Structure 1
Amino acid sequence: MFGGGGGLNPRKMEQMMKQMGIDVDEIDAEEVVIRTDEHDLVFTDPDVTKMDARGQETYQIIGTPEERERGAASADEGAADADAGAGVDEGDVELVATRTGASEAEAREALERHDGDLAAAVADLE
């Protein structure tokens, strides 16, 4: 937008954007899901910035997405609610599954067996 920003100091950049009528806000997002025809892109703990340029809102997402089967992200939301009662953190389930290549169900079971201990669950599945 500004030619890469080069050596501009962030404060000066912010002042220039305000002069142009652009408001920038950081959004404390836990997860962002982008649904396509083929799959879902799920950004866990992304950096999200909202820019409002005279009523036109633009969102910038910084992070590395995990590609999931289409609609799987919605199913995970229900699983996370069910897990909240069981004491297993959904983020831990995803971490163990990603690290070991196990399914989320296998990762969840391993975490439950080891009372939420990440290292023990990973060791169990590797």
Structure 2
Amino acid sequence: MFGGGGGLNPRKMEQMMKQMGIDVDEIDAEEVIIRTEEYDLVFSDADVTKMDARGQETYQVIGSPEKVESGAAGAGGDAGADAGAGADAGSEIPDDDVELVAARTGVSEDEAREALEANDGDLAAAVESLE
């Protein structure tokens, strides 16, 4: 019914998009994490394409995600540094982490340390268990 072999030539599609002011770039992503309240979606080895249409950026992620517990994927900001410090020291919980949990929850430092040890040094989980 339609000629042309079932689709547009990718080169022709690229030319048309450039004429419309749309730039497309492939991003060499190692991992993509989408966080929701209930769970995280982790895309390992995802194909990521960024499309810029006159200042409006759109990202397309192609791959099969693994669904994991919320907050379990990766470590953002200070959480990664804290997890690394705890892991390097074995089961030793940094005093700064203990003070932070104690201040946040209003419990004693001993209770904060116990909560951190029970949650493998995870600050957010320790605070949550005490609240």
Which of the five TM-score ranges fits, normalised by the shorter chain?
0.5 to 0.7
Aligned to 1:7: 7
Aligned to 2:109: none
Deviation string 1:39-71 (CA, Å, 9 cap, x unpaired) is 000000100000000000000000000000000
Deviation string 1:68-122 (CA, Å, 9 cap, x unpaired) is 000001359949968xx9xxxxxxxxxxxxxxxxxxxxxxxxxxxxxxxxxxxxx
Matched pairs, number: 78
Q: Say yes or no: does 1:35 pair with 2:35.
A: yes
Aligned to 1:121: none
Aligned to 1:21: 21
Q: Give the deviation of 1:37 after TM superposition.
A: 1.1
What is the TM-score normalised by the length of structure 2? 0.53
Q: Specify every segment of 5 or more residues in structure 2 that has no aligned partner in the other structure, as ranges.
A: 1-5, 89-131
What is the TM-score normalised by the length of structure 1? 0.55
Aligned to 2:58: 58
Q: Specify every segment of 5 or more residues in structure 1 that has no aligned partner in the other structure, as ranges.
A: 1-5, 86-126
Q: Could you say if the C-alpha distance between residues 75 and 51 of structure 1 is closer, same or farther in structure 2, counting changes exceeding 3 Å?
A: closer
SS where residue 74 of structure 1 aligns?
A: coil
Which aligned segments of 4 or more residues in structure 1 are displaced greater than 4 angstroms? Answer: 75-82
Percent identical residues: 81
CA RMSD after TM alignment:
2.5
C-alpha distance in 2, partners of 1:25/1:67? Answer: 27
Aligned to 2:45: 45
Higher Rg: 2
If each structure's helix is expressed as a fraction of its own residues, which one has the higher value?
Answer: 1
SS where residue 7 of structure 1 aligns?
A: coil
